[in-house]
Amino acid sequence: MDNIRYDFKIEKDDFERAGEASSNIKKILRQLGLNSGIIRRVAIAAYEAEMNLVIHSNGGSITIEIDPRKVTIYANDRGPGIKDVDLAMKEGYSTASDRIREMGFGAGMGLPNMKKCSDDFSIKSILKQGTFIVMKMFLKDGD
């Protein structure tokens, strides 16, 4: 098989390790020899997804899959789910607490940023069950 997959477990409120998964993802892509533009897009999307899991979810995982045509990021969590996905996708909308905002997170840019970085973005959320995001970045010649 010409693809490779890595799973990263993300725990709720684990700010100590927050950012580690996306940092590792960046290193992997660099070693695979991808071009820095696409590495940056994937790293930003993965970072936003990772922080969302730490801040808002009950924990979950980030999975990255690379094949010769594309990079795919899966961000899956175990709830609580997003009430209104359309609202959550709006820039500046945030449900983060004041404490989280004081720490410099929760600007309401996470999901919009992830979408901006992806060529193909899909989100599905079921209350109490979880949120499931798939982001695809297609490789062009030279990437």
Cα–Cα distance, 118 to 122 (Å, whole number): 10
- If the CB atoms of residues 30 and 101 are measured against other proteins, the closer one turns out to be 30
Q: Is 106 left (phi over 0), alpha (psi -120 to 50) or beta?
A: left
Task: Give residues 13-42 in contact with other proteins (rule: CB under 8 A).
Answer: 22-23, 26, 28, 30-34, 36-37, 39-40
Cα–Cα distance, 98 to 70 (Å, whole number): 38
Size of the site for other proteins (CB under 8 A): 23
For residue 98, the surrounding DSSP H or E stretch is helix 98-102
Q: Binding of other proteins at residue 122 (CB under 8 A)?
A: no
Least CB distance from residue 78 to other proteins, whole Å? 25
Q: What are the backbone dihedrals phi and psi of residue 77, each rounded to the nearest 5 degrees, phi first?
A: -130, 175
Interaction site with other proteins (CB under 8 A): 2-4, 22-23, 26, 28, 30-34, 36-37, 39-40, 43-44, 47, 66-68, 139
